[in-house]
């Protein structure tokens, strides 16, 4: 499997119900941990994870749907089990035990109206910050339309009876197993470390034939350790290829960036990120750019920030121990990877405390920098990537860029931009909506800066109405890459065998749309290019010439050139001549 397919394996992993694929990671075949999760049930994981978090006390109310759970825990000497028929009383009894022992207590019942009786006690627990873990079991056959007995709709519950509510699937493959473990870690961590009630809806296992089938113990569970204060310098970074990873991030203050820079410079470790990280300090490495150059991936990652739209970055995490810094005390797990430690403190506090830790491998950052700087990028045809490459060369200092998602976002992460640039993308949900409007918002807020947008045709035309706004000034410049479709679907590995079928509905191809008439009617200076030579002759003017109007530069590309450019870029790490 080549890097092209790895990119889409990572992106589409959560939409694939097959067993998880073996990814070839930067020239090496890396097998993910093999387990017997498909032979185990979700109830097995709940029980084992309770043990991981040291949660022993369970109050059970009799019922069919939770009977398997009751059967298993009553035979396990690890647990202290109590039987209380009335769920309302069970909830309040859990409060009494939790207040006394200062540890989470589980309450469990069947899936029908029984769980409604917990509401008064969970309300009390919420306002008093008492960690009650409510586990109702549901009949997997029930749904809104099935007329199944004992079905209740718990999709919406009161805000003040739980901090979080999760619904676990039955485990049937490695993907669902990862989802269960991530969800359980989030719920149990929230209860244990934030002292809040949580609700965990769990699938029932009625109709079992052999109890022994349910006595297997999962070997692949993990849990996160919550740390409020670092009292000793850590030796866990010693002799490791350690790294910091930053997802999308608010703008760093000067002090925050200085503290992080001091830490990574002292430890000689890289800071992997994309352009939405807002990081402009020491040892910065653009993740996707480094991965296509064939770097060695880290052994340990310190993860900060929010969502990243750079799917390729998942390859950095394949063999890494992960630590997470969480200033807001929330529990998040990137790519469903195990987080062995969650540090409940500000990033500034964490990196100050960690600065004097024992050193990592001395040449890790230096070796990555050397590989990236000595890799020669190919001479590309007219394509999204060529356009971005030249935008990065000619864009003036202190500019703002807002870019689209999918292929444009990927291309942005292959290239370096000036450290003076502010670069953003709507990666909160990574959708097509609002890219032009967000860009216009930037231009309103910073009228003294040139504000550039680069996006594909579907993204632009989806949000085109905003360029008619009367307050738009000449600091706005839009670079529209028009391939007359969503080119992402042409290069996406999901559609390799049906490329000819992706045109009309999947890729929304064939609409007779160009932006010239609309742009000019809205008062924009319009430019266009259909050849590489024409584009290269105009890109400097687009970026730097003074215009008395906002500018829209429409560049027309072809499927063949876009696919060729993508393969050339993602094939870099296989071409030893480029090193």
Three-class SS of 552-568 = EEEEECCHHHHHHHHHH
Host H or E run for residue 497 = none
As a whole number of angstroms, the distance between CA 451 and CA 454 comes to 10
Cα 533 to Cα 210, 382, 483, 536: the distances in Å are 72, 9, 17, 5
The number of residues in the chain equals 579
Q: Enumerate the CATH 3.40.50.1220 domain ranges in the chain, comma separated.
A: 227-374
CA dihedral 88, 90, 95, 100 (to 10 degrees): 150
Q: Give CATH superfamily name and number for 227-374.
A: TPP-binding domain (3.40.50.1220)
Whether the predicted pLDDT of 494 surpasses 90: no
Q: Which CATH architecture has domain 37-220?
A: 3-Layer(aba) Sandwich (3.40)
As a whole number of angstroms, the distance between CA 367 and CA 171 comes to 42
Average pLDDT (153-171) is: 93
Cα 342 to Cα 142, 188, 219, 574: the distances in Å are 37, 13, 22, 36
- 3-state secondary structure at position 116: helix
Nearest alpha carbon to residue 490 among 505, 507, 504, 511: 507
Q: Enumerate the CATH 3.40.50.970 domain ranges in the chain, comma separated.
A: 37-220, 384-577
Nearest-5° angle of CA 197, CA 198, CA 199? 135
Whether the predicted pLDDT of 360 surpasses 80: no
Bridge partners of 551, per DSSP, are 477, 525
| Per-residue pLDDT at 209 | 65
CB 61 within 8 A of CB 85: yes
Whether the predicted pLDDT of 333 surpasses 70: yes
DSSP annotation of 474: T
Sign of CA dihedral 39, 44, 49, 51: negative
CB 216 within 8 A of CB 40: yes
- Non-local (6+) Cβ contacts of 496 within 8 A are none
As a whole number of angstroms, the distance between CA 410 and CA 399 comes to 20
CB 63 within 8 A of CB 117: no
Cα 317 to Cα 5, 238, 283, 299: the distances in Å are 17, 19, 19, 9
Q: Where are the alpha helices (DSSP H) in 207-326?
A: 254-267, 287-292
**Tens digits of residue pLDDT in 438-468:** 999 999 999 999 999 999 998 999 899 999 9
Computed on alpha carbons and rounded to an integer, the radius of gyration of the chain in Å comes to 27
In what side-by-side order are the strands of the sheet with 300-304? 225-227, 339-343, 321-325, 300-304, 242-246, 271-273, 284-286
**Tens digits of residue pLDDT in 506-521:** 777 777 789 999 999 9
DSSP annotation of 425: E
| Per-residue pLDDT at 493 | 64
CA atoms within 13 A on the CB side of 447: 4
| Per-residue pLDDT at 313 | 92
CB 346 within 8 A of CB 327: yes
As a whole number of angstroms, the distance between CA 255 and CA 478 comes to 34
Q: Rounded to two decimals, what is the model's pTM?
A: 0.86
Nearest alpha carbon to residue 460 among 376, 556, 547, 543: 556
CB atoms within 10 A of CB 356: 10
Host H or E run for residue 477 = strand 476-482
CA atoms within 13 A on the CB side of 343: 20
Average pLDDT (518-536) is: 97
**Tens digits of residue pLDDT in 17-69:** 333 333 333 333 334 344 445 568 899 999 999 999 999 999 999 999 999 99
DSSP state string for 363-424: THHHHHHHHHHHPPPP---SSHHHHHHHHHHHPPTT-EEEE-STHHHHHHTTS---TT-EEE
As a whole number of angstroms, the distance between CA 301 and CA 322 comes to 5
As a whole number of angstroms, the distance between CA 447 and CA 475 comes to 6
- Non-local (6+) Cβ contacts of 537 within 8 A are none
CB atoms within 10 A of CB 379: 8
Bridge partners of 260, per DSSP, are none
- Non-local (6+) Cβ contacts of 415 within 8 A are 286, 289, 388, 389, 392
Pick the residue with more confidence: 79 or 574? 79
Sign of CA dihedral 225, 230, 234, 237: positive
Q: Where residue 121 falls among pLDDT bands split at 50, 70, 90?
A: very high
CATH of 384-577, one of 3.40.50.970, 3.20.20.140, 3.40.50.11720, 3.10.290.10: 3.40.50.970
**Tens digits of residue pLDDT in 243-292:** 999 999 999 999 999 999 999 999 999 999 999 999 999 999 999 999 99
CB 357 within 8 A of CB 233: yes
As a whole number of angstroms, the distance between CA 78 and CA 51 comes to 8
Nearest alpha carbon to residue 89 among 74, 109, 75: 109
């Amino acid at each position: 499997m080549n890097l092209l397919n790895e990119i889409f394996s990572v992106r589409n992993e959560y939409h694939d119900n097959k067993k998880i694929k073996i990814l070839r990671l930067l020239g090496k075949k890396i097998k993910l941990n093999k387990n017997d999760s498909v032979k185990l049930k979700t109830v097995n994981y709940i029980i084992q994870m309770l043990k991981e978090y040291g949660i022993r006390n369970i109050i059970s109310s009799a019922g069919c749907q939770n009977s398997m759970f009751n059967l298993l825990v009553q035979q396990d000497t690890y647990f202290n089990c109590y039987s209380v028929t009335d769920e309302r009383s069970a909830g309040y009894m859990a409060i009494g035990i939790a207040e006394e022992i200062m540890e989470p207590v589980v309450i469990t019942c069947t899936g029908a109206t029984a769980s409604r009786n917990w509401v008064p006690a969970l309300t009390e627990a919420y306002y008093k910050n008492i960690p009650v873990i409510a586990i109702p079991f549901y009949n997997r056959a029930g749904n809104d339309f099935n007329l199944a007995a004992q079905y209740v709709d718990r999709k919406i519950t009161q805000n003040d009876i739980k901090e979080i509510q999760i619904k676990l699937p039955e485990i049937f493959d490695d993907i669902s197993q990862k989802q269960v473990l991530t969800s359980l870690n989030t719920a149990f961590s929230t209860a244990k470390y934030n002292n809040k009630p949580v609700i965990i809806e769990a699938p029932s296992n009625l109709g079992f034939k052999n109890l022994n089938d349910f006595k297997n113990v999962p070997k692949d569970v993990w849990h996160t350790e919550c740390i409020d204060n670092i009292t000793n310098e850590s030796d866990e970074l010693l002799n490791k290829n350690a790294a910091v990873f930053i997802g999308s991030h608010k703008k760093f203050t000067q002090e925050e960036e200085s503290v992080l820079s001091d830490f990574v410079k002292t430890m000689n470790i890289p800071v992997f990120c994309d352009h939405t990280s807002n990081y402009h300090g020491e040892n910065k490495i653009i993740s996707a750019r480094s991965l296509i150059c064939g770097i060695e991936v880290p052994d340990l990652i310190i993860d900060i920030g929010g969502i990243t739209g750079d799917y390729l970055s998942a390859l950095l995490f394949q063999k890494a121990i992960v630590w997470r810094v969480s200033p807001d005390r929330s529990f998040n797990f990137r790519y469903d990877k195990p987080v062995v430690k969650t540090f409940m403190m500000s990033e500034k506090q964490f990196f100050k405390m960690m600065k004097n830790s024992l050193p990592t491998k001395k040449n890790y950052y230096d070796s990555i920098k050397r590989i990236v700087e000595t890799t020669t990028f190919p001479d590309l045809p007219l394509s999204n990537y060529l356009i971005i490459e030249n935008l990065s060369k000619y864009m003036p200092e202190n500019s703002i860029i807002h870019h689209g998602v999918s292929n444009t976002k990927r291309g942005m992460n292959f290239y370096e931009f000036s450290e003076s640039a502010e670069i953003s993308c709507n990666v909160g949900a990574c959708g097509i909506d609002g890219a032009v409007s967000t860009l216009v918002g930037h231009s309103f807020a910073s009228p003294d800066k040139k504000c550039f947008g680069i996006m594909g045709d579907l993204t632009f035309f989806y949000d085109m109405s905003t360029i008619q706004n009367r307050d738009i000034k000449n600091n706005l410049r839009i670079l529209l890459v028009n391939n007359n479709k969503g080119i992402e679907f042409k290069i996406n590995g999901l559609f390799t065998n049906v490329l000819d079928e992706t045109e009309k509905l999947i890729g929304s191809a064939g609409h007779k749309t160009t932006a010239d008439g609309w742009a000019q009617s809205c008062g924009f200076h319009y430019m266009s290019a259909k050849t590489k030579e024409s584009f290269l002759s105009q890109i400097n003017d687009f970026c730097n010439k003074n215009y008395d109007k906002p500018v829209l530069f429409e560049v027309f590309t072809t499927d063949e050139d876009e696919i060729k450019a993508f393969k050339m870029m993602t094939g870099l790490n296989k071409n030893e001549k480029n090193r």
